[in-house]
Amino acid sequence: MSEVKIKDKTFRLFISEAEIKERVKAVAERINRDMEGKNPLFLAVLNGSFVFAADLMRLITIPCEISFVKLASYAGITSTGKVTEVIGINEDLSGRHVIIVEDIVDTGLTMQRMIETLGTRQPASVSVCTLLLKPDKLKVELNIDYAAMEIPNEFIVGYGLDYDQQGRNLPDIYTVVE
């Protein structure tokens, strides 16, 4: 579909499912090389990263584990700038190589909060893996170890990303038509 309508907005195709899969595979290959022999713990940030995390995990060939954390910082199509931890981390992270899996990093505030939270638990390392990065929107300095794609500052939906909880099921990524 070249366009989709979700609630009161129209979205046009931005990134195809085929391109997404290609980029996810490339990130997985880098992680497999970088984390060889380390048994990393992937921490997928819900709700948005669940599709990316599932596809990524199927391509990880090294021993690893996955868990989930839920943070919220969005209302509608804009970031509230305020991060609320909804579901915490139950695993012992001391000495572990942790890879945070996120759908999108835009302001960086959610990721900064997540990294600060993890740092108090003495992990061996913390890496950030995101499907999408909006470098022009970053408000904080972050080291993004694995970014599948960099995109301009546009609102997007699909492949796990939502507009008011709708559109996560779309296999492609769409951008809003103004």
Half-sphere exposure of 118 (CA within 13 A, CB side): 24
Q: Tokens 């505030």 sit at which residue?
A: 109
Out of 55, 103, 106, 162, pick the active-site residue: 106
**Is 136 an annotated catalytic residue?**
no
Name the phi and psi angles at 81, rounded to 5. Answer: 80, -5
For residue 69, which of 117, 123, 130, 125 has the smallest C-alpha distance? 117
Q: Is 68 helix (H, G, I), strand (E, B) or coil?
A: strand
Structure tokens that stand for 108 in this block: 């960086």
Looking at residue 62, what DSSP letter applies?
S
Q: Name the residue type at position 57.
A: M
Query: How distant, in Å, are the alpha carbons of 34, 61, 127, 160, 169 from that of 165?
Result: 34, 32, 27, 10, 10
Active site residues: 106
